[in-house]
Amino acid sequence: MKIKEMEEKMKKCLVMVVSLMALGLLNVIGIECQEEKVEPAVKAEAPVSGEAQVAFDKGTEYYKQGKYDDAIVEFKNAISVEPNYAKAYCEMGMAYMEKEDFEGSIPNLLKCIEIQYKYPKAHYAIAVAYARQKNPDLINARKHVDIAAQQGYMVVPWFLDYLKRLEDAAK
């Protein structure tokens, strides 16, 4: 395949990803695809109780099915058993973000990094949430996307371009 053809296919793929994000389908392409790349950078959490893990696993299944309200309930159940369960806060923040409820998303993602600062997926999700809210907080979006990248997260170029366009428009 020629370089020009590859570039064209990449452009089409990026357009599709941006469209999916705009539709609130981060879990299909954006965030979950990146999760495998994040895991090595995340320091292992302390083991959680069986009860918390069962609730977390249920939440994860509901999330994958697009049942975000049910997922949030289960992530809250996991946190009620294990109050410092950073991963549950992150995933709950993601579920709120899928609902475009950034007021619910951001505090949970911030709690995740309060518990476990080196959690690049959470930093990236915070950046996306700050950028997508009705009145974007571009300073915090930039801060967290930069931290995510510093922590080894593979930040997609189109999000950086999107953030730059927002920043340029705000000048």
Strand, helix or coil for residue 156: coil
Per-residue pLDDT tens over the stretch 96-135? 999 999 999 999 999 999 999 999 999 999 999 999 999 9
32-170 folds as 1.25.40
Give the Cα separation of 45 and 43 in Å (integer).
Answer: 6
C-alpha dihedral (101, 160, 167, 89), degrees to nearest 10: 30
Per-residue pLDDT tens over the stretch 140-151? 999 999 999 999
Strand, helix or coil for residue 100: coil
Give the Cα separation of 118 and 98 in Å (integer).
Answer: 23
| Token pair 């294990």: residue | 82
pTM of the model: 0.74
